Amino acid sequence: MFNTTTLICNIGSQVKNGMTPQQVIVVQRTWKTLRGVNPEILGDVFYSKLFIEMPALKRLFKNPMEAQYKKLMDMISMIVGRLQQIDEVTDNIQQMAKRHVGYGVKKAHYKLVGTALLWTLQQGLANDWNEEVEEAWLMCYNKIAGIMIQASECRNYSS
């Protein structure tokens, strides 16, 4: 298996490479499997893992977590559904990143989020999680996180 932490640390270096068509198919197929899971359950698993890794992040969330769970699942669904035309949703991803800056999200948080996301996916997919699935999701996360980090580092934007 891949070393998730090492690959997530290199966010940005993978962005220009993009994902292969097979990786897009793998991500979309496995996400379709997880879409059948109640968003509150999947979201709770993800955020519980994230907050275990860094309890201080919990203070960034002011609204009820149930709403956050749904937002997370909806955003992942939107992005995964458009992976083949990622340019169509890049503005949405960039705007989300800019909002995250206002919430207090830092570049270092992306590594933690990636680790929590991949762990959650691995738990949810169980026996369907393998090296191919892991690599595809790593590439997907690195691509999206790279877009978000780049947007969050832009100094001249309006929220």
The pLDDT tens digits of the residues spanning 60-70 come to 988 889 999 99
CATH code of 143's domain: 1.10.490.10
Residue 7 lies in a domain: no
Q: Is 8 domain-assigned? A: no
pLDDT of 154 reads 75
pLDDT of residue 9: 39
How many folded domains does the chain comprise?
Answer: 1
Q: What is the pTM (predicted TM-score) of this model?
A: 0.83
Position 124 in a domain:
yes
Q: Helix/strand/coil (H, E, C) string of the chain?
A: CCCHHHHHHCCCCCCCCCCCHHHHHHHHHHHHHHHCCCHHHHHHHHHHHHHHHCHHHHHHCCCCHHHHHHHHHHHHHHHHHCHHHHHHCHHHHHHHHHHHHHHCCCCCHHHHHHHHHHHHHHHHHHHHCCHHHHHHHHHHHHHHHHHHHHHHHCCCCCC
Domain containing residue 38: 20-153
Q: Per the domain annotation, does 137 fall within a domain?
A: yes
User: Above 60 in pLDDT, residue 138?
Assistant: yes
Residue 9, domain member (yes or no): no
In a domain? residue 4: no
